[in-house]
């Protein structure tokens, strides 16, 4: 009764009525689903984890039980719906794998689903707390690392000897009054939040602990915030799925999977057995269009007639050098930094592994140049987002005959790259997309005055080539390296044994 009187004494306003100015000393607590995020249904994020930790089989099981989970979630009990999703997603999975997926897979998709007005208020406050019915293990890395949340209160899952049991901990799912209880337990009476933001009447118990109460109405359709406006954009991420799987998209993906697998094997077979002169036409017939821009070099010999040309491209998938060779119309060897033995066997062009030993790698490049041309990516690893990693400068020290190549790839279902998964399946997942598009843009050879011969340092040359490619693709240059990527995503140096 007292609680009801308190809530009635405070006016609950809509989120657009909340002024974000002058909040530098305020403390905000916000519900994640439907308030901080536009999406109210957490199914999509559970399905991303399910596919990452269990593949298509666990993903299929989750889709089978999702109608019951969504019915419980919306019509019976939010708590029961969450429990069904937790069991189907986590049962028998290593807790370390769940943490890994939460750290490197989910942040990209969460960042694309932020409510712009809620984020404006949330980011302007000094202290930030998020409450959610979703398991804390799934949301905490994103909320703390990318949004700067100080406190995250979510459902806790139970585990046994490092494996998730599929059940929630004794405290239960954090819904309704449990959010208020958890908030009171975490905070003292003197440090209760100034602002409470919820998405439904189930959030009133924790909102009424705050001086100001705001609701994010479900009827109001809003466009999510652009991820590029976040203080810390997501540059690196892993996982195979391109889109956030709604129930309808998840069903479509399952129906497509056996078709895509068969189509992928057919595409890969023809790429491996046909001569490169027929690759472009064949891939176009098989639904893999290649868009070629710029002027393809006709004379691949150096003007000095001593060395060939090195084609410097940004790195989107392991198929980059194959596509460049196909566009050039002749087999051009490639220098790779880390490629599985299976991929090397499958490759229709010769590949040579770089060792990260400067002397050995320089000798290898000089040998290849003395015999003709080769393709390489100085980034040393792929990057999915519109960013370019720092270019290694070694190529600039060895030759002035540099031809930049800008590469972009468009896929709709599966990423053809991975840092934590099986790299030898990269080509399979790429060709499983209904219509994977490769765009290859040949730029003019680097003028001699922009090379080391013209007085520039090797790092200046490498940075210049990086900027040229970035400008064509409308990408952003970074100083991030291969080591940065693999340390973040996998905790390794990224080399395949």
Give the DSSP letter string of 2-14.
HHHHHHHHS-EEE
CA distance 277 to 270: 12
pLDDT at 383: 93
- Domain residue ranges in the chain: 2-221, 258-489
Backbone torsions φ then ψ of 94, nearest 5 degrees: -60, 135
pLDDT at 24: 86
Which residues lie closer than 8 Å to 160 by C-beta, 6 or more apart? Answer: none
CA-to-CA dists, residue 22 to 111, 125, 126, 131, angstroms:
25, 9, 10, 24
pLDDT at 362: 87
pLDDT at 300: 57
Burial class (CB in 10 A: 0-12, 13-18, 19+), 67: exposed
pLDDT at 10: 64
SS3 letters across 233-257: CCCCCCCCECCCCCHHHHHHHHHHH
Tell me if 2-221 shares its fold with 258-489: no
Of 3.40.1130, 1.10.3470, 2.40.50, 3.40.50, the CATH number of 258-489 is 3.40.1130
Angle between helices 247-273 and 276-285 (to 10 degrees): 150
Q: Which residues in the chain show pLDDT less than 70? A: 1-10, 189-190, 298-307, 492-497
Please state, as a whole number, how many other Cβ atoms lie within 10 Å of the Cβ of residue 243. 16
pLDDT in tens, 196-248: 999 988 889 889 888 889 999 887 788 999 988 888 889 999 999 999 999 99
pLDDT at 2: 40
Topology annotation, domain 2-221:
Rossmann fold (3.40.50)
Q: Within a 13 Å sphere around the CA of 494, how many CA atoms are in the beta-carbon half?
A: 22
pLDDT at 477: 94
pLDDT at 84: 94
């Amino acid at each position: 009764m007292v609680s009801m009187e308190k809530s009635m004494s405070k006016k609950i306003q809509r989120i657009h009525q909340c002024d974000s100015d002058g909040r530098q000393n305020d403390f905000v607590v916000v519900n994640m689903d439907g308030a901080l995020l536009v999406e109210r249904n957490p199914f999509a994020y559970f399905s991303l984890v399910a596919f990452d930790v269990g593949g298509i089989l666990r993903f299929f099981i989750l889709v089978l039980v999702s109608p019951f989970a969504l019915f419980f979630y919306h019509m019976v009990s939010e708590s029961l719906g969450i429990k069904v999703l937790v069991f189907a997603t986590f049962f028998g999975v290593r807790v370390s794998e769940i943490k890994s997926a939460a750290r490197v897979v989910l942040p990209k998709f969460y960042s694309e689903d932020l409510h712009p007005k809620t984020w404006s208020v949330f980011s302007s406050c000094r202290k930030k707390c998020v409450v959610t019915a979703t398991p804390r293990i799934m949301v905490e890395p994103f909320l703390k690392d990318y949004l700067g949340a100080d406190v995250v209160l979510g459902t806790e899952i139970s585990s046994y000897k490092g494996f998730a049991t599929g059940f929630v901990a004794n405290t239960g799912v954090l819904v309704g009054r449990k959010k208020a209880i958890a908030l009171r337990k975490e905070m003292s009476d003197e440090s209760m939040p100034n602002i409470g933001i919820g998405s439904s009447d189930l959030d009133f118990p924790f909102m009424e602990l705050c001086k100001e109460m705001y609701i994010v109405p479900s009827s109001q359709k809003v466009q999510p915030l652009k991820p590029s406006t976040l203080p810390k954009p997501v540059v690196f991420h892993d996982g195979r799925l391109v889109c956030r799987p709604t129930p309808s998209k998840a069903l479509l993906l399952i129906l497509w999977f056996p078709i895509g697998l068969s189509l992928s094997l057919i595409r890969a077979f023809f790429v491996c057995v046909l001569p490169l002169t027929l690759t472009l036409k064949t891939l176009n017939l098989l639904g893999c269009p290649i868009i070629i821009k710029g002027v393809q070099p006709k004379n691949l010999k150096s003007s000095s007639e001593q060395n060939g040309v090195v084609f410097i491209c940004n790195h989107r998938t392991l198929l980059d050098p194959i596509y460049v060779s196909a566009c050039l119309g002749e087999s051009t060897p490639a220098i790779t930094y880390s490629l599985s033995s299976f991929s090397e066997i499958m490759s229709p062009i010769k590949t040579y592994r770089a060792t990260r030993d400067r002397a050995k790698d320089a000798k290898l490049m000089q040998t290849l140049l003395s015999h003709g041309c080769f393709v390489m990516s100085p980034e040393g690893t792929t990057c999915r987002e519109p960013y370019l990693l720092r270019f290694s400068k070694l190529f600039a020290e060895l030759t002035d005959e540099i031809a930049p190549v800008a590469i972009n790839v468009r896929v709709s279902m599966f990423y053809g790259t991975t840092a934590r998964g099986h790299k030898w399946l990269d080509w399979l997942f790429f060709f499983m997309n209904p219509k994977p598009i490769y765009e290859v843009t040949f730029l003019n050879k680097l003028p001699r005055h922009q090379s080391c011969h013209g007085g520039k340092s090797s790092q200046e040359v490498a940075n210049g080539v990086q900027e040229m490619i970035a400008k064509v693709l409308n990408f952003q240059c970074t100083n991030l390296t291969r080591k940065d990527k693999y340390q973040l995503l996998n905790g390794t140096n990224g080399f395949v044994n």
